Every structure is written in C-alpha cells, then in structure tokens.
C-alpha cells in the first residue's frame, strides 16, 4: 500500500508546534515505514509513504530540507511558480514570520519573499533529495471557469523545466479541486497527478494517473501514529473514490 502524506508549513507564527515536533514525526516514519517518491518501487512488506509539501514556503528550505539531508530521505515539493523569485538577501526571520497563507497576497511575495527562491530550489533539487512538482502557476482553483488551465497546468511545467533543467512529471492540484474534464487535460502532461482524497493508493500506476493524499497535520501536530484502523479506512476510501471519481 502507498500512503501519500500532505504537508504545508512546519514552522509558522500561528502554530503551537514546530520543527522539533516535526523532526520527531519524521523519525517515527523512518523507523517504521519505507519512504518513497513518485515512480520508485514500493516495499514488499512495509507500508510505503511519500512526503509531499505544498506551496514551497521558505520554511521548507530553512527547516525541512536540513532534516531530509540528516535522515537521508526524499520529499516532493509542490511549487506555485508565480510566487518564486530568483534570489533574495532578506534575513531568514523576515521571511519565516509571514503567516500561512498570506504569503500569496499581492506584492507580499516580492517584498517579504516568504517562498523558496529559484536559487534555493535549484540547490535542493541538485541534492537529489527534493523532487520538484508543479502546484500550478498562481495556486488558482482549477474548477473556476475564469482560470486559465493552460497557464496553470502547462506554463507552470514549462517554467519549472526551464529553471531546473529537468523533466517535471508530477502535478499537485491546488485546494485538491478538480473534475473529470480538468483531470483529462492535466493528465496529458504529467505522469502523477495528486489531489487530497483522504485515501491510500495501491501503487503509483493507475490508468488515469490520479494519486490520493492524506492530510498529515492530523499526525505530526498531535504526535499521533498511523494506526491499522486508519489504514483500513484509507483503503476503503480509495475504493469509494475510484467508484465516484473523487
């Protein structure tokens, strides 16, 4: 079984937990499960887990990336390309204190640089421990008729590939929102397309390329482990999602 965990920020001015608690969570995952990334083989006997981080806030580079290096594990970073600037000289504290999700407000992403820069993303990708994924261009609701699907889906992919000089084969739906029509278009350009779904997966391979994710805040923010009952629930939810295409 494959379980894809969804994270956003791990350090935020509004959080009552932080990096120390998140590190303990990662240590528990590493001790009990097989950590994988899109397309990699799953473990024959252990639960395989993929770590995905949405939005590419700066705390991923500042706090999460060093932990990935320390533990020698990989993670997927969903990048909304509109909000990524080339580089910055701003102090870490100024960038980290922008609360989630206000970083996407007009001009704030330029003046306070709350997201990773292209220089930082290139460093992480070059390490081999961070897999870059498109999280659209502007983090728009793709089900909104006013949204330009080509810009959000294809232009973001092209920008990532131009900046990073690597193929981008994973897309993460903003807000988890999609429908059959949208998904049929997105799946033309990506091998793995992720949404929320609150379900597990059999493996990485599915004809429609749809991969479900589970909100990881339930676990790491409250020091909870993944129970057998929850895994059974995620398996049932997978079957229901497939029947209803959710």
Domains of the chain (ranges; CATH) run 2-244 (3.20.20.370)
- Radius of gyration for the alpha carbons in the chain, expressed in angstroms and rounded: 17
Q: How many helices (H) and strands (E) does the chain have?
A: 11, 8
pLDDT number for residue 13: 77
Two tokens at 240?
């229901």
What gap in Å lies between CA 184 and CA 179, rounded to an integer?
A: 9
For 59-160, list the strands marked E by DSSP.
75-79, 130-134
Instruction: Decide if pLDDT at 204 tops 90.
Output: yes
pLDDT number for residue 174: 97
pLDDT number for residue 38: 98
Q: Which residues pair with 197 in a beta bridge?
A: 213
Q: Quick: pLDDT tens for 52-66.
A: 999 999 999 999 999
Which sign, positive or negative, has the C-alpha torsion 91, 92, 96, 102? positive
Mean pLDDT of 185-207: 96
pLDDT number for residue 81: 98
Instruction: Decide if pLDDT at 246 tops 80.
Output: no
Mean pLDDT of 239-246: 87
Instruction: Decide if pLDDT at 106 tops 90.
Output: no
Using 50, 70 and 90 to split pLDDT, how confident is the model at 196? very high
Instruction: Decide if pLDDT at 94 tops 90.
Output: yes
Q: Which residues pair with 52 in a beta bridge?
A: 6, 76
Instruction: Decide if pLDDT at 105 tops 90.
Output: no
Percent of the chain with pLDDT over 70: 100
Q: Quick: pLDDT tens for 17-46.
A: 889 999 999 999 999 999 999 999 999 999
Using 50, 70 and 90 to split pLDDT, how confident is the model at 244? confident
pLDDT number for residue 12: 82
Using 50, 70 and 90 to split pLDDT, how confident is the model at 15? confident
Instruction: Decide if pLDDT at 14 tops 80.
Output: no
116: which residues sit within 8 A by CB, 6+ positions away? 56, 57, 58, 60, 61, 77, 79, 84, 124
């Amino acid at each position: 079984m494959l379980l894809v965990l969804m994270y956003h920020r791990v350090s935020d001015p509004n959080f009552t937990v932080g990096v120390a608690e998140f590190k303990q969570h990662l240590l528990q995952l590493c001790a009990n499960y097989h950590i994988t990334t899109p397309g990699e083989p799953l473990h024959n006997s252990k639960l395989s887990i993929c770590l995905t981080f949405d939005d590419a806030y700066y705390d991923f580079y500042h706090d999460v990336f060093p932990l990935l290096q320390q533990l020698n594990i990989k993670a997927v970073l969903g990048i909304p390309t509109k909000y990524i600037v080339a580089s910055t000289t701003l102090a870490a504290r100024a960038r980290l204190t922008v609360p989630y999700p206000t970083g996407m407000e007009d001009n704030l992403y330029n003046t306070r640089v709350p997201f990773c820069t292209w220089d930082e993303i290139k460093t992480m990708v070059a390490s081999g421990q961070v897999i870059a994924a498109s999280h659209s261009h502007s983090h728009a609701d793709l089900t909104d008729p006013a949204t330009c699907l080509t810009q959000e889906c294809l232009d973001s992919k092209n920008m990532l590939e131009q900046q990073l000089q690597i193929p981008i084969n994973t897309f993460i739906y903003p807000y988890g929102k999609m429908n059959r029509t949208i998904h049929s278009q997105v799946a033309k350009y990506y091998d793995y397309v992720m949404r929320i779904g609150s379900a597990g997966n059999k493996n990485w391979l599915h004809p429609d390329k749809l991969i479900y994710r589970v909100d990881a805040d339930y676990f790491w923010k409250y020091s909870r482990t993944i129970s057998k009952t929850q895994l059974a629930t995620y398996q049932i939810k997978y079957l229901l999602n497939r029947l209803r295409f959710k």
